[in-house]
Amino acid sequence: MTTFSFTTFDTALQAKLNSASVNLSAQDYLLLAKAVQTALETTNGISLLNLKGEANGVASLDSNTQVPASQLINALPSQASNQNKILTTNGSTAAWSNTAALATISTSGKAFIGTGAEAFDTSAGLTSTAAVFNVASGIDSYGQISVHNSTGSSSTDVIAYASNGNDTSGWIDMGITGSSFNSATFGITGANDGYIFMEAPEGTTGKGNLVLATGANGTENKIVFAAGGYDSGNTQMTIIPDQNIHIEIPTPSTSSTTGALTVVGGVGIQGDMNVQGNVSIEGTITFGGGGTTVETANLAVTDPAVFVGTNNQSDIVDLAFIGEYATTISTITRTVTNKALTSNVATLTTSADHTYLVGDIVVVSGVDATFNGTYNIIAVPTSTTFTYAKTASNVSSTVSSGTVAVSARRKFAGIARDASDGVIKAFKDATTKPSSTINFSEAGLSYADIQVAGLTASSITVGNVSDTEIGYLDGVTSSVQTQINTKAPLAGPTFTGTVVLPSTTSIGNVSSTEIGYLDGVTSAIQTQIDSKLSTSVASSTYAPLIQTPDATKVFVSNNYTLVSGDRDKILLLSNGSTAGTVTIPSGVFATGSVLTVVQMGTGQLTLTQSGTTINSNGNKLKLNGQYASVQLVCTSPNTFIAIGNLAA
């Protein structure tokens, strides 16, 4: 028996193989070593190895060759404390290692990496997985699958391929560029940019979308966008499921290229748009379809004119400025029987006809926290249903309770040119929101008051006063009532100045012709008549024309107060050369009373007012001298006109 003097199985085996002129590769050597180790028999302390030579690249041991088992065992690297390690070789020496430097790794099944990877695959029920990684992060707060590209001009990528994908198309790529990356093929990225690229397979009929989505199991399921630092806690944009896309960046907009959101190109909005801040528009605003309403707290227009109805060639629409307001009505309360909410629109059903109108202000209570509140009704689909805007998650149609109440109704007022007659009209209390025309015959609509500082019109009708009647005011320079008050009444007028009578005047039964006979009279008619009369005449048939003594009064006292019996009499008052007074008392003479006073002496008589008013030409109240006369005419209670020969 051949005796070997070596300390390792590796050296002995190699020497034996060399003597047999057998050349093995490093991989064949390891396989042979494993086969030898498996073939060891330790029952009698020796191993019988047969090496028959090389057949098809595989060596076998000769049955006559015997090697002590202890020498074969000691020929392997020690296995103590080398659990779960890998036996590696550099081509001449084998050793245990925690890592393996291999050119390629190929497996037909799953690859499990990390303690517990295979157990997780089973417990999680994973299907169709090529590799399972399980990381227990005892040191750091995260687990990693790391890929590093040390070339600065290249990129580091993790790529997933479609069934019909290849290196050209049909892949999605997540990666990061190197420190000096500069590629025209991927010009959208620069040095040290991270990216996600999607390239659909060439010639595909698929959509090729890049989809970002969250599931429904979370409590919020938002998609959150943040930039500028993980530790800032700032969220720039959030997509909230079925609610909105919220952008919150405190950047003011001072132009079309500044602000939290800037868009190069058009923006189409099919729903409502509410802007809390200012809106600056450099282009033209065009409303089409039903979008003809601009609602704003304040509207300032720098152009000198605001145009409505541009190119209104057919003249079938009313041109108007219209305002909306609320008026109080008797409260209409109804019971809720059903509720639903779809796409931020709430629908309530009432047990009876509600008689609500679009725009009514409804108070919802007792339904639930989602539906309760005060809202404007936006639609009335049926007599027992109405809708209002409510931003909240969808609620399936379900039986409900609670109440709704309307005590304020929306109304409209404005100024409009009515296309039907071309008249500009101010109106109020319209219930129907006007669109292209205003229903001026709508129940409840009325014409509104207008208050202006000045009004110039070629024609005007006020109430029952026609334009012709208003035209009579032409030339009026002061209050009409004041001017009327200064005019004497037709019955019993009071004159304060010189009275100019018309060319033909009649007083009572005295005709204009008879009055004309007074032309040229220079003194009292009665005096002149008396001077013309003679005894013979007095006894003649003309005697009745002479005033009888009981129609006169003569007094010699200094003062005389008229009495009711003096009406329609000629009072011959003489006081010699001593001046006297004639007092006209109040409450004695009725309207139409006439009294004649003649100063017979040289003592001047003065007319005195006692609770009465005496009007005369030049306010003269003294008789002009001996034989001067005055006629007192009562024009109204306690008011007289003095007509005659008077002096100041």
Task: Compare 22 and 505 and report the one with higher pLDDT.
Answer: 505
Task: Look up residue 517 and give its two tokens.
Answer: 């006979």
Q: In this structure, are residues 426 and 450 in contact, taking their beta carbons and an 8 Å threshold? A: yes
Distance CA(642)–CA(622), nearest Å, equals: 10
Rg (CA), the chain: 63
For 548, phi and psi rounded to 5 degrees? -75, 155
Distance CA(409)–CA(376), nearest Å, equals: 10
Distance CA(413)–CA(322), nearest Å, equals: 6
Q: In this structure, are residues 341 and 392 in contact, taking their beta carbons and an 8 Å threshold? A: yes
The pLDDT of residue 539 is: 42
User: Does 599 score more than 80 pLDDT?
Assistant: yes
The pLDDT of residue 424 is: 93
Give SS3 for 385: strand
Extents of the domains making up the chain:
9-97, 155-199, 328-447, 492-648
The pLDDT of residue 309 is: 82
User: Does 555 score more than 60 pLDDT?
Assistant: yes
Mean pLDDT across the chain: 81
Model pLDDT for residues 123-174, shown as the tens digit of each residue: 888 887 888 888 876 666 677 888 899 899 999 999 988 988 888 898 899 9
User: Does 393 score more than 90 pLDDT?
Assistant: yes
Return the minimum-mean-pLDDT range out of 21-30, 153-162, 464-473, 520-529.
21-30
Q: Residue 361 — very low, low, confident or very high, per pLDDT cuts 50/70/90?
A: very high
Q: How many residues are given for the chain?
A: 648
User: Does 57 score more than 70 pLDDT?
Assistant: no
Return the minimum-mean-pLDDT range out of 32-41, 119-128, 506-515.
32-41
User: Does 553 score more than 70 pLDDT?
Assistant: no
The pLDDT of residue 105 is: 78
Beta bridge partners of 639: 613, 636
Q: Residue 15 — very low, low, confident or very high, per pLDDT cuts 50/70/90?
A: low
E strand residue ranges, 260-378: 319-342, 345-350, 361-365, 373-376
Task: Look up residue 189 and give its two tokens.
Answer: 């990225």
Q: Residue 362 — very low, low, confident or very high, per pLDDT cuts 50/70/90?
A: very high
Model pLDDT for residues 487-507, shown as the tens digit of each residue: 777 777 777 777 776 777 777
CA 162 to chain centre: 50
Distance CA(458)–CA(471), nearest Å, equals: 10
Task: Look up residue 587 and give its two tokens.
Answer: 């409450």
Q: Residue 20 — very low, low, confident or very high, per pLDDT cuts 50/70/90?
A: low
Distance CA(585)–CA(608), nearest Å, equals: 9
Q: At which residue do the structure tokens 């060439």 appear?
A: 202
CATH assignment of 328-447?
2.40.30.20
The CB density around residue 111, as the number of other CB atoms within 10 Å, is 12
User: Does 275 score more than 70 pLDDT?
Assistant: yes
The pLDDT of residue 485 is: 81
Task: Compare 45 and 39 and report the one with higher pLDDT.
Answer: 39
Task: Look up residue 419 and give its two tokens.
Answer: 């296309």
Task: Compare 278 and 34 and report the one with higher pLDDT.
Answer: 278
Angle at 19 between CA 15 and CA 23, to 5 degrees: 80
Across the range 212-226, mean pLDDT stands at 91
Distance CA(504)–CA(486), nearest Å, equals: 24
- Sign of the CA dihedral running 368, 369, 370, 376: positive
Task: Look up residue 244 and give its two tokens.
Answer: 């909105």
The pLDDT of residue 276 is: 76
Model pLDDT for residues 605-615, shown as the tens digit of each residue: 999 999 999 99
Percent of the chain with pLDDT over 70: 80
Across the range 285-301, mean pLDDT stands at 65
